[in-house]
Chain A
Amino acid sequence: MLNKSSAGFKFGFQILAIVAALIFTTVVMLLAKAPPLEAYKLIFTGSVGSIGKISDVIVAWIPLLLATSGLLLTFAAGLWNIGIEGQITLGAIFTTWALRLLQDTSMSPTLIILIGFLAGILGGMIWASLTGLLKIYGGVNEIFGGLGLNFVATALTIWLIFGPWKRPGVGSMSGTVPFDNLLWLPQVEGLRMSWWSLGIGLIGIAIVYLILQGTYFGLRLKAVGKNGRAAFVIGIPTGKYMMSAFFICGAFAGLAGATQVLAVYHRLIPAISSGYGFLGLMVAMLINYQALWAAPVALFFAALNIGSIQLPIVLKLDSTLSGVLQGALVLFVLMMDGVRRRLTAKKVK
């Protein structure tokens, strides 16, 4: 008889979920009168078809991975940090600010870039702490506090791009004046990718993995998330730990924003966070908050995003197909997990 709690059983349900998601997405494609096989093929070649494409995937991977890493900490503390989009944005804003301040000075470009990164981290931390303060002292649920601050961040970005930081002449949706090449994070020859940002991303997730697996801080964080009352009785100051989670996640988010400015767009654009915050939430949910899977799944999601850029050009389909597939994966995994638990629970009775 099948051991209902075995890892194999669980895995089976996850496979079922993936299959269901693929079926669902295919149905959606058929609804849009799109040829499914061709579309899948296009996404595949669009992401791994050439070195250039692969490097693009990596470029998209890094901010997503950073966001996911930070979110794993807030999720551990039992928090829904929907405000991560705003935190990424503020990181980008602070980085742009630092660069604009220092670009005409005689400081060495390397130093400026470093300060840019630090500024981004600071920006994200500050923004995240606002959500934390709203929650702890204002009683505002972090979902709505985060959403509200996301909106504020967007408004701030728009104001900067069309106001104080606008291009000479008229402000434009293409963002601020691009920074000089010297202030770009060094890229691999001919590609948009940078070894530096790759290193940052991988080190980031490694740090989060270490924190959660191997430190007292991580264990206490998990305790707060799983049972705040008991954690308090044991002696863990729950409020402080929640704020810490916000701080660190904000730092990661700010770093992601900094990377967007220093390594990808080299300027501030309206949608600088590119939806990586929300996507990071989805990745975290899909990997069931296990840090080990963050890098590969984030890579997969990034590949889907980059791969589907081809869709409008070749098949006249909107590139949001990747979002549909990503959403379907998370939804079906969540639901299948619920089904599996319901089935196993019944047998116990």
Chain B
Amino acid sequence: MNVELVHIHKSFGAVHANNDISISIKSGVIQGILGENGAGKSTLMKVLSGFIQADSGDILLDGKAVHIGTPSDAIKHGIGMLHQDPLDFPPMKIVDNMLIGHDGGLFPNRREVSKSLKELQAQFGFNLDPEAYVDGLTVGERQQLEILRLLWLGAQILILDEPTTGISASQKAKLFETLKKLAEQGMVIIFVSHKLEDVEGLCHKIAVFRQGSLVGEAAPPYNTDNLVEMMFGKVISLDEKTRLENCEPAVEVTNLSIEDNRIQIRNANLTVNCGEVIGLAGMEGSGQRQFLRTLAGLMRPVGGDLRLGGKRLTGKPYHSFQDAGISYVPASRMEEGLIPGLSITEHFILSEGQSGFFIDREKAVTISRERINTFNIKGEPVTRVEALSGGNQQRALLAMLRTPLRLLLLEHPTRGLDIESSIWIWSQLKDRCRQKTCIVFISADLEEVLHYSDRILVFYNGKVSQPLDAAATTVDQLGQLIGGKGF
């Protein structure tokens, strides 16, 4: 089956996530879709798989326009999507996972399904036990299950969203083998990823997305530099950076190992000098978040050492980190940073220390007004935080930070903000640097990372690069590392 997307537009409020996308994929082709976070690839795939509806544009299957209103519509038309986090039912058995959503009689014949499963997976060399429970499977095996299920339901177009995050090398090899076989059988495979090596090695064609538009297509042999340039755009001239005089190391990270459900980081090393800004780059899910949260004291490392100003903080409870002068500003503002139902003033009261038993409301409002002014928050002292815009919420979060701090950890500090707010926020942060605060921040915006960092760490699949001197790194080099080249 051939699939064609014609003039697809999709906006979320002011964000134009898909801007006039037209792409045609013939059967038997493995189509790579390359782009940064927020480039619009996921949105397009969600449109194709029925999760959301495009604002305008058509989907054509074998030349015929079809309407895909829900995910079950999609599978009826033969389009199946493998999500980055496979959508399955962890506490249930594999055979039951296969059955849910499959039409049929009242009593499913489990034995038949098991048999079909075993036959199907033999073609690809998978080794899943139908009686096993899904929550005991690795991510790679869960993917295999979902692929088998979609094939079993008759999918002829398979969309894979970041499939190689969190699977082993051998599982990846098996996956690629499988995809090639399926393509030979005439299926359309759409492979969405940020990993250059994977996409270059597997795909027959590559389409590159940037900021909502399809900026270019490529055919083999692939030129990595060309792809990176399309993904990240031209380099802008970097301003002069003011360098601080060196002082003693403030933060020392030695052989840090971190583990959670999806990512393992082994033996990360970093020394941060006072007043330095370290940028953590990499695609989401590469480990930078876990690293930052471990520095904040919200996660415990499974190995290694963490010191601040010579004092050992490894394994200590969260409040020790706070007392030592470390503050963490999360990316999900309303889930982890702010408290819906409480006002701006109340947030400031909470983040300050306690003086006495009773809150001095007048004083609190005065301080609140001052800060609202200083940080230019569009709101009143009594405004509830959930009523603020995203940008103002971020300003509020920054306004809550104590002074002085030894280490400030920020997760996506300017995400979703306009240029003006971003520049203003960074001037505030640079001020703190002048007061010897160290800053470690995560950002998906390469220009931001290059411009504001003194040094950069790139994360890829749990691996951490050596610290790079930001002044000496180009966008291209950064892009390649983010895509996994050079690790």
Contact = CB atoms under 8 A, between A and B. Distances in A.
A216 B354 CA distance: 7
A233 B350 contact: no
B340 A227 contact: yes
A230 interface: yes
A230 B342 CA distance: 12
Contacts of B361: 214
A331 interface: no
Interface string A205-216: 000001000111
A230 B339 contact: yes
Interface of A: 210, 214-217, 219-220, 222-223, 226-227, 229-237
A61 B403 CA distance: 49
Given A214-B359, A234-B400, 17 more contacts: A210-B358, A215-B357, A215-B358, A215-B359, A216-B349, A216-B358, A219-B359, A222-B341, A223-B350, A226-B340, A227-B335, A227-B339, A229-B335, A230-B336, A230-B339, A233-B330, A235-B319
19 contacts: A214-B361, A216-B354, A216-B357, A216-B359, A219-B346, A219-B349, A219-B350, A219-B359, A220-B350, A222-B342, A223-B339, A226-B340, A227-B339, A229-B335, A230-B335, A231-B339, A232-B318, A234-B350, A235-B322
A281 B354 CA distance: 31
Contacts of B341: 222, 226
Interface residues of B, number: 24
Contacts of B351: 234-235
Nearest to A235: B322
Contacts of A232: 318
Contact of B337 (A215, A217, A233): A233
A222 B342 CA distance: 8
B319 A237 contact: yes
Nearest to A229: B336
A237 B319 CA distance: 8
By DSSP majority rule, is chain A's interface helix, strand, loop, or mixed? helix
Contacts of A227: 335, 338-340
A38 B404 CA distance: 71
Interface of B: 298, 318-319, 322, 328, 330, 335-342, 346, 349-351, 354, 357-359, 361, 400
> Which 8 pairs of residues, A with B, have the shortest CB-CB distance?
A227-B339, A226-B341, A216-B354, A226-B339, A235-B322, A214-B358, A223-B339, A230-B339
Contacts of B318: 232, 235
A4 to B, nearest CB: 14
A118 B159 CA distance: 68
Contacts of A233: 298, 328, 330, 336-337
A219 B349 CA distance: 9
Question: Which of A214, A226, A229, A235 has the most CB atoms of chain B within a 10 A radius of its CB?
Answer: A235
A136 to B, nearest CB: 15
Contacts of B349: 216, 219
Contacts of A231: 339, 350
A7 to B, nearest CB: 15
A223 B342 contact: yes
Nearest to B328: A233
Contacts of A210: 358
A215 B359 CA distance: 5
Nearest to A231: B339
Question: Which of B318, B319, B337, B339 has the most CB atoms of chain A within a 10 A radius of its CB?
Answer: B339
A230 to B, nearest CB: 5
B355 to A, nearest CB: 9
Nearest to A220: B350
A223 B340 CA distance: 9
A78 B346 CA distance: 18
A234 B338 CA distance: 9
A236 B319 CA distance: 9
B83 to A, nearest CB: 24
Contacts of A229: 335-336
Contacts of A236: 350
Nearest to B296: A233
A200 to B, nearest CB: 22
Nearest to B298: A233
Contacts of A226: 339-342
B204 to A, nearest CB: 43
Contacts of B350: 219-220, 223, 231, 234, 236
A286 to B, nearest CB: 19
Contact of A230 (B298, B322, B337, B346): B337
A219 B345 CA distance: 11
A236 B328 CA distance: 14
A234 B336 CA distance: 9
Question: Which of A219, A222, A232, A236 has the most CB atoms of chain B within a 10 A radius of its CB?
Answer: A219
A294 B400 CA distance: 33
